[in-house]
Structure 1
C-alpha cells in the first residue's frame, strides 16, 4: 500500500487578502464609533453645568429628573437613528450616509452648546442621537459587507 503525498494547504492568517480599502473602511468606522462613545459619555460629565445653563433656578433641585429626560431623549434618538440609518444606507449608499451622519452628529452636538432652554437642549440631543446611531449602524454594515467572510468576525 503506497501512501500518496497529499498537499497540505498552507496555514493562512486571518489578515491575508485584506486590502488597504478594507483597513480604511474599518478604521473609518472605528473612529466614528470612538467619537460616538465620547459623545455618549461627555454629557454625563457636563450634565450639571449644562442643566444650570438652561433651567430656572427653582428647577435645579430637580436636576436628576431633567438629566434623565435629556439622556432618555438621546437614547430614543439612538434607537430611531439606528433604524433610519440602515434604511437610508440601503437607498442612498453606505458611504454617503455614513459621511452625512458623522457631519450631522458633529453639527448637532455643537449646537447643543447653544440651546436656549431645556426643550431646545432635548431637541438637539435627540437629533445628535439620531445622527450618532445612524453612523454606528452604517459603519457596522460597511465592515460586514466589505470584509471577506473569514475575517468578518475579527473586523466586527
Structure 2
C-alpha cells in the first residue's frame, strides 16, 4: 500500500486553533502529516523556531502519524526530500486564495510531481490568524479561545499577563 504523506508548512508564529483544525483534518486524509515550520530569516518572528516547534509539539501531543520539523530553502525541495508529494494549505477566505494560488502554481512549475491541496478552515476559525492573536495578546485581550494553553502561556511571558 502506498503511503500518503503531506507537508503542512507555515511560520506558526504562534500556532492557533485554526492551524490545529487543519492538522486534525489533514490527519483524516493523509497517512502521515509533517508540520513544517519555515526558517525565514527575512521575516521577523515573535518566537524563535525552537519555541514554535515546542509549542506545536505541546499542542498536538504524541501522534506517530504526525511529525513536526523545520525547513529552509524551497518548500518543494523539502517536500521531495521527505518522500511527500502533497503540500497542504489552509484557506480562511477568498483573500487568501489569490496569494496561495500563485505560490501553488510556482511550486508546481518548479516540481511537477508536487501538488498543493487547499483545505478550507472550519467556520469558527475563518477569521483567526497568528497576527490577530499576537495583537490581542499585546493589548492584554482574551486569547484562550484562539490558542492552546501552552501558547497562551508563552504569549503571556512575551507580553505580560492581563
TM range (shorter): under 0.3
Between structure 1 and structure 2, the one with the greater Rg is 1
Instruction: Provide the TM-score with structure 1 as the length reference.
Output: 0.23
| Structure in which a larger fraction of residues adopt strand | 2
